[in-house]
Structure 1
Amino acid sequence: MPAPELTPPQSSLPEAVSRFGAHVLADAAARAHDVRAVTGGPPRASALPDPPHVGAALHAAAVPHPAAPPRLDGAVTEAPARGADLGPVLRGPSGLGTSGLRQLLRRAEPPVLPGVPTPPPVPGPPSADPSQAAASGSAPPEGRPIPGLYFHPVPEPDPVRVAEVSRRIKEWALDEVSLYPDDWEEEFDGFLVGRYMVGCHPDAPSIDHLMLATRLMVAENAVDDCYCEDHGGSPVGLGGRLLMAHTALDPLYTTREYQPLWADSLHADAPRRAYRSAMEYFVRAATPSQADRFRHDMARLHMGYLAEAAWAEQDHVPEVWEYLAMRQFNNFRPCPTITDTVGGYELPADLHAQAAMQKVIALAGNATTIVNDLYSYTKELDSPGRHLNLPVVIAERENLSEQDAYLKAIEVHNDLMHEFEAEAAALAAACPVPAVLRFLRGVAAWVDGNHHWHQTNTYRYSLPDFW
């Protein structure tokens, strides 16, 4: 009697997923009971705006909302609203268990959480000492947004979470990876990374999930500062340093004779120590496809570093379009691309790899990076040497004044933001699979949180006097 044939392995996604066709929608409908358990109701659908109004299309599309992230004591925190103009996409959770969320947000003081020190009340005028702000979870002096910049305001990140993430990341930086010497402490505190990551990941289920993003953010900045920028960085020899650091993310497999030498090298300097440790934490929490996705995006980032370094060595100012091409690689993309890992779920690899999704992620990275160019403009002008940023390149290549070049860079950012929102809305309508919708919502939250951090971090940034 012949042996029975094994059932061929089945993909977890429909065969026709690349076309976002009927199979995908049927699969989403079949799993509606799972979505109901998470969101308090089935996926909702609404019409997209007419084409002339697609600038805010993502915020007008209906995205099912995941359960609000539990606080450390098990209570529920509402995802922050982004204003009346943003529609239901980012308006927060609904359904069972969420009726008291707005009352929770109205508390004058954060709740007391077991095992977590309660931060002191935010003083009348916030402290200008960045170390105090980071330690207490209080907000820094509020900076004004760039006039004319298109963005969505967000509430101040949860101060209890901010305080705990700030405490843990400093402990990791000092005790686990020896990231910086004593005289860098003020700068580390002034980065306010706890506020940054809490604001960018409002759906993170726990502090542990937030720490995945926070360690990686700090490690990436250590590589940028120590290899490329103002803490000993140089374009000379950058390729070799980046390659060795990248092996802390994408490990070397070699012979028994040489493997120990490579392993020892991962402790040779602060950037490699930080990359190694942050990636170890991330891999333990992520799926294999999520980890590989992150490695790929970090390779993109490092390639962008090398392009900018090559121009610096040649004292070359690229054309504006060339600069924007470089910035599509040397940008924030690795941060929003892990929003599902930080959120405690997975966008399947087949869906993440779709051209439409890749375009949305790229546009989000491009827009958020131009935000950095604009807010860091005066900081970079005050630094030694010539720092390439979009206003500088536009002024040089299009023969504009500094002011006119800066204002044109704002227009470039706004165009990228509108394109990001239109493409995300189109994808949400074409493929309303729960994981896709939640991922798009997470990327939009990262974009908004990134702007909020840049606007309010007055320790690092100030605006030029162009208005």
Structure 2
Amino acid sequence: MPDPDLSPPQSSVPAAAARLGSRPPAGSPAPSGGAPGAVIPARAPATAPPAPFVLPTGGQPLVSAAASAPPAEPEGATAPAPLAASAGSALGRILGGPSGLGTAALSLARRAGGPGSLAPGSLAPGSLAPGSLAPGSLAPGAAGAAGAAGAEAAGRPIPGLYFHSVPDPDPARVAEVSRRVKNWAVDEVQLFPEEWEGQFDGFSVGRYMVACHPDAPTVDHLMLATRLMIAENAVDDCYCEDHGGSPVGLGGRLLLAHTALDPLHTTAEYAPAWTESLASDAPRRAYRSAMDYFVRSSTPSQADRYRHDMARLHLGYLAEAAWAETDHTPQVWEYLAMRQFNNFRPCPTITDSVGGYELPADLHARPDMQRVIALAGNATTLVNDLYSYTKELAAPGRHLNLPVVLAEREKLSERDAYLKAVEVHNDLMHAFEAAAAELAAACPVPTVLRFLKGVAAWVDGNHYWHQTNTYRYSLPDFW
């Protein structure tokens, strides 16, 4: 896989701010080209796994063996920290893989530097041989306890929240990703004015993405996810939220921004006006550039998958905006339906692109895989609801989140509504783990197993970032 181009040297933020609204410089990248839902019972007891699916060959690798080698790191850098998981949980079994002779290379949970450790990129395509994980070896098990081992990390975890702790991400990678993404934001897409620089830095996106993608072969692979994450947040902030966003006219703005991801095919007469529009505001510049890097470093199937997930996200934005315009508080089930679309789903579903391999489209489209992905997105988004609760209460206007909806619709106190929201999150997490373990047992194809590990790692890294980002989040005084 060709590595994405590196960002040019960084200029000063004031100089970049002065260029806001300008056309991109010459030579900038050209534009890039289910089953019914199921009710989740409390603690999601396991069901019989679906019929096995046999795939004759694994997914198409996106990197050669040479490209999968560990990247050159600065002197003194440490390897990315390994994943941590509860040994008794279904998710722990997925992350840890089987045990016994000849299985050490299958685990993402081996301690770095020890026997069977996983160096960046060492899990090359094809290294998980078909049949090496026997059906049943990853069957659902008792859910593990909350990740108390992460208590040493910055920030206080929400009491009673079910999560898996992870070690702090590799600081050398975090620093390099942070440097590169700021170069990109300032120089390539002129994303923010000078007065927003502190907020950009406080977002800590480098730490976020390194924690969520521990198997990324190189920093260039991490940058694919990092640019897209920043672009998504720019659209949310500038179109929907507190940096000029409004529900009024949101549909038109989102549709035009979406054409930066899913290019317009029109007549020669009108194409130039559309092309010019892609540079008309910071969110569209960010979408266009981030997607162009992604398209050049992924397969057409992976790019189309991402576009589909972003259309889902935009639909969720529009539902929330419609409720804001009509001052409607949705029923709890309606809110959760909206959150299945307005959620983090586009992020974990590119875990294979960031890992340098491909989950084939037919395996991604399986109803049981779609359920796993949906549950992961729903659970991680409620983590955001819970950690950002006090931040949203302090912001202007009324922000919908699960505790707010529970308080109004179920006539609960703020404290009781928040604690019930924790329970809802925990039920979704248990359902995610059970569904992932069942799928791993029913379809032990190497790319499926690696993808499930990647999604689980994203879920854990997402919690880690929310817990430790004390610049953005603080907990309510409910305990």
2:105/2:116 contact within 8 Å kept: no
Q: How much has 1:369 moved relative to structure 2?
A: 0.1
Match of 1:214 in 2: 226
Q: How much has 1:88 moved relative to structure 2?
A: 4.7
Matched residues in 2 for 1:22 and 1:279: separation?
32
Match of 2:70 in 1: 70
Match of 2:466 in 1: 454
Matched residues in 1 for 2:322 and 2:84: separation?
40
Q: How much has 1:70 moved relative to structure 2?
A: 1.8
Q: Which amino acid aligns with 1:70?
A: P
Match of 1:82 in 2: 84
Q: Which amino acid aligns with 1:427?
A: L
Whether 1:101 aligns to 2:127 is: no
Match of 1:245 in 2: 257
Matched residues in 2 for 1:462 and 1:382: separation?
11
Whether 1:201 aligns to 2:203 is: no
Whether 1:162 aligns to 2:167 is: no
Q: How much has 1:89 moved relative to structure 2?
A: 3.1
Matched residues in 2 for 1:420 and 1:307: separation?
25
Instruction: Note closer, same or farther for the CA distance 1:456–1:76 as it changes in structure 2 (3 Å cut).
Output: closer
Match of 1:134 in 2: none
Instruction: Note closer, same or farther for the CA distance 1:419–1:100 as it changes in structure 2 (3 Å cut).
Output: closer
1:69/1:77 contact within 8 Å kept: no
SS of 1:371's partner is helix
TM-superposition CA deviations, 1:5-28 (whole Å, max 9, x none): xxxxxxxxxxxxxx754743xx26
Matched residues in 1 for 2:69 and 2:404: separation?
41
1:78/1:102 contact within 8 Å kept: no
1:72/1:207 contact within 8 Å kept: no
Larger radius of gyration: 1
1:141/1:457 contact within 8 Å kept: no
Instruction: Note closer, same or farther for the CA distance 1:22–1:178 as it changes in structure 2 (3 Å cut).
Output: closer
Instruction: Note closer, same or farther for the CA distance 1:76–1:147 as it changes in structure 2 (3 Å cut).
Output: closer
Matched residues in 2 for 1:104 and 1:170: separation?
37
TM-superposition CA deviations, 1:171-204 (whole Å, max 9, x none): 0000000000000000000000000000000000
SS of 2:467's partner is helix
Matched residues in 2 for 1:141 and 1:290: separation?
34
Q: Which amino acid aligns with 1:250?
A: D
Q: How much has 1:100 moved relative to structure 2?
A: 8.9
Q: Equivalent residues in 2 for 1:339-350 (5 A)?
A: 339-350=351-362
2:82/2:111 contact within 8 Å kept: no
TM-superposition CA deviations, 1:313-361 (whole Å, max 9, x none): 0011000000000000000000000000000000000000111100100
1:177/1:273 contact within 8 Å kept: yes
Instruction: Note closer, same or farther for the CA distance 1:88–1:265 as it changes in structure 2 (3 Å cut).
Output: same
2:81/2:112 contact within 8 Å kept: no
Instruction: Note closer, same or farther for the CA distance 1:69–1:214 as it changes in structure 2 (3 Å cut).
Output: farther
Match of 2:413 in 1: 401
Match of 2:332 in 1: 320
SS of 1:289's partner is helix
Match of 1:296 among 305, 308, 312: 308
1:367/1:416 contact within 8 Å kept: yes
1:79/1:203 contact within 8 Å kept: no
Match of 2:43 in 1: none
Matched residues in 1 for 2:115 and 2:179: separation?
24
Match of 2:197 in 1: 185
Q: How much has 1:81 moved relative to structure 2?
A: 3.1
Task: Calculate percent identity across the aligned residue pairs.
Answer: 74
2:85/2:95 contact within 8 Å kept: no
2:382/2:402 contact within 8 Å kept: yes
Match of 2:450 in 1: 438
More helix by share: 1
Instruction: Note closer, same or farther for the CA distance 1:84–1:240 as it changes in structure 2 (3 Å cut).
Output: closer
Instruction: Note closer, same or farther for the CA distance 1:73–1:255 as it changes in structure 2 (3 Å cut).
Output: same
TM score, norm. by length of structure 2: 0.75
Gaps of 5+ in 2: 1-49, 98-102, 118-151
TM-superposition CA deviations, 1:270-328 (whole Å, max 9, x none): 00000000000000011000000000000000000000000000011000000000000
Instruction: Note closer, same or farther for the CA distance 1:416–1:192 as it changes in structure 2 (3 Å cut).
Output: same
Matched residues in 1 for 2:113 and 2:477: separation?
39
TM score, norm. by length of structure 1: 0.77
SS of 1:361's partner is helix
Q: Which amino acid aligns with 1:459?
A: Y
SS of 2:252's partner is helix
Match of 2:275 in 1: 263
1:363/1:416 contact within 8 Å kept: yes
Matched residues in 1 for 2:391 and 2:185: separation?
25
Matched residues in 2 for 1:22 and 1:464: separation?
46
Match of 2:395 among 353, 377, 383: 383
Matched residues in 1 for 2:424 and 2:464: separation?
19
RMSD after superposition: 2.8
Q: Which amino acid aligns with 2:241?
A: E
2:189/2:289 contact within 8 Å kept: yes
Match of 2:25 in 1: none
Matched residues in 2 for 1:69 and 1:329: separation?
36
Q: How much has 1:78 moved relative to structure 2?
A: 6.0
Whether 1:153 aligns to 2:165 is: yes
2:181/2:223 contact within 8 Å kept: yes
Match of 2:343 in 1: 331
2:83/2:457 contact within 8 Å kept: no
SS of 1:178's partner is coil
Count of residues paired in the alignment: 381
Matched residues in 1 for 2:156 and 2:476: separation?
12
1:173/1:180 contact within 8 Å kept: yes
Match of 1:357 in 2: 369
Q: How much has 1:80 moved relative to structure 2?
A: 1.3
Matched residues in 2 for 1:155 and 1:451: separation?
12
Q: How much has 1:72 moved relative to structure 2?
A: 2.3
Matched residues in 1 for 2:324 and 2:69: separation?
44
